[in-house]
Amino acid sequence: MQEIFANLALGFETAFTLTNIIWVFIGGVLGTIIGMLPGLGPATGVAILIPITFGMNPATALITMCAVYYGAMFGGSRASIMINTPGDAASIVSCFDGYPMTKQGRAGAALAISAIASFIGGMIGMIFLIFLTQPIANAALKFGPAEMFSLMMFALVATISLSEGSILKGIIAITFGLMLSTIGLDALTGITRFTYGIRSLEDSIDFLVIIIGVYAITEVYKNFRDLDTVYNLDAKSIGKVAITKQEFKQSIGPMLRATPLGFFVGVLPGMGATIATFMDYAMEKSISKHPEKFGKGAIEGLAGPESANNACSCGAMVPLLTLGIPGSGTTAVMLGALTLIGVRPGPLLFAQHPDIAWGVIASMLLGNIILILINLPMAIPLVQLLRIPNRLMLPSVFGLAILGTYFLNYSSFDFILVMITAILGFLFSKIDLPIPPMVLALILGGTTEQTFRNSMVLSDGSLSILFQKPLSAVFLVLAAVSLLYALIKRRKKAA
C-alpha cells in the first residue's frame, strides 16, 4: 500500500509541470470538440496528435493523448443530448434520455449531469486503476471465446428490455442487426457473404454510417412535420447549467453502480464502451422503480451510462499499462505513438518506466478535474445554440451528418448507405420497430459470430463448452433471467 502512494507521488511529480498542465488543457479541449462531431472519435483525435507528440518527452506525449481520449469521452454525449446525434458509438445511449430532456427544456441539466457523471465515473475508475490493476488484469485473462460469446448474448438480450412493446419485435431488431453485421468479407476466412455482387459491400458495413443514418438524419426527417416550432424553452432556465439536489440524489446511485461495470468491461480485450453503456442502461431500467420514465427524460438513464463510459476508458488503460497490449482502438493508436517517441510499453512498463506509467495515472486524475472545469462552462454557450430555430438547425444537423459520413472512410458508397438507412430508420419508427437493439447487434455482431465460431472450434463443435465454463454459464443464466423478467413484466402490464 505504501508503495502505491510513493509511486503515486512520483507520478504527480512527473505530471504536475506547467507544460503538462497546458497540454492536458489543450488535449482536453481538442478531444471534447472532436468527440462532439459524428464520425470523428477519440482514435482519430489521438492520431491527429501523433505528429505533434514527436517532439515531446514520452510522459508529456502520453499525458496529452490521454487528455484527448478523455475529452472525447466527455464530448461524445454533447451532440447526443443536444441534437440526438451520437458523437460516437459509446454515446448512443446518451440519446435515450438526454435528448428527451432537451426537448423538455432541461438541456442545461442534461449537459451538467453528463459532465458530472463522466467526472465521477472517471475519478472512481482511476481509483480502481491505481489499486486493482494487477488482479483485474489477471481476471480479464480468464475470458476466452466462450465467456465472451455468452457475455455478448447477455448484452443483446438485455437490450430487448430497453424498448416498449413486443419482445418478439426486439428479437427481430436484433436479428436485423446481426444480418447487417455479416455482410461483407468474413473476417475469419476472407470469403464474401451477402454482398449480392456489390463490390463496395465487401468491406462490411461501418456501423458508424448506420448510426449517423438512423439517428442524425432520421431525426431530421422526423422533424419535418413541425418545422416552425422553436424548442419549447423557458427563457429563464435556458442559460442555467445546473442540477437540483433532487436530481443529484436520483443520479448518484446509478453513477456508483455504473463505474465498476464500465471499468471491468473496459479491461476485457476487444470490448468497448458501447457494450458497457448499453448494459448499464438496461440494468438501471430493470432495477428502477419507475421504468416507464426511461426514454422519456429520466436523469438516471443518462447519469449511469455516462459514468460507465468514462470508467470504461480507465479500464481500457489496464491492458495497455500492464501488458503493453491495446484494449481498444484508441489505446492501439496510443501504443503506436508511444513507440514512435521511444517507449515500447510492455509488461515491464511499471518496472522500467515507473515515472511514465504513474505519471499517466496522475495526469488522468488531473485531466478529469480540468475536463469538468472545461465542460461545465462550455455547456452554457452550447445551450444557447438551442435558440436557433428548427428550420436552420435541421439543415445544419444534416450537414454535420454528411460531413461525419465523409470523414469516416472518404467513401462515396457510404453516402448511398447512409441515405438508405435514414429512410429505413424513418420507416421503422412508423412501425415501432426498436432501433437500439438493431444498432447494438450490428456493433457486436462481428465479435459475437467470431467468438461463437472460435468456441465451436475449441470444443470440436460441441455447444456444451458454453455451459462447462463457469463464467460463461453465469452469463447465459443472466441472459435467460433477463428475458424471463421482461416477459413477466409485460404480462403484468397487459393484465
Closer residue to other proteins, CB minimum distance, 225 or 492: 225
Residues 6+ apart with CB under 8 A from 481: none
Query: Can you say whether the dihedral through the CA atoms of 333, 339, 342, 347 is positive or negative?
Result: positive
The CA-to-CA distance between both ends of the chain, in Å, stands at 56
Instruction: Report d(CA 369, CA 52) in Å as an integer.
Output: 24
Long-range contacts of residues 195-203, Cβ cutoff 8 Å, at least 24 apart: 200/411, 200/413
CB of 429 to other proteins, least distance (A): 10
Closer residue to other proteins, CB minimum distance, 299 or 356: 356
CB of 473 to other proteins, least distance (A): 17
CB of 332 to other proteins, least distance (A): 3
CB of 346 to other proteins, least distance (A): 3
Closer residue to other proteins, CB minimum distance, 186 or 355: 186
Query: Do the Cβ atoms of 445 and 180 come closer than 8 Å?
Result: yes
Residues 6+ apart with CB under 8 A from 88: 35, 38, 41, 42, 72, 76, 208
Closer residue to other proteins, CB minimum distance, 210 or 335: 335
Query: Do the Cβ atoms of 69 and 46 come closer than 8 Å?
Result: yes
Q: How far is CA 424 from CA 94, 95, 418, 430, 432, in A?
A: 22, 19, 10, 10, 12
Closer residue to other proteins, CB minimum distance, 105 or 329: 329
Closer residue to other proteins, CB minimum distance, 96 or 143: 143
CB of 197 to other proteins, least distance (A): 12
CB of 358 to other proteins, least distance (A): 18
Identify which of 60, 25, 62, 67 has the alpha carbon closest to the alpha carbon of residue 45: 67
Query: Do the Cβ atoms of 361 and 126 come closer than 8 Å?
Result: yes
Beta bridge partners of 185: 192
For 292, which DSSP code? G
DSSP E strands in 181-222: the ranges are 184-185, 192-193
CB of 302 to other proteins, least distance (A): 28
Closer residue to other proteins, CB minimum distance, 116 or 401: 401
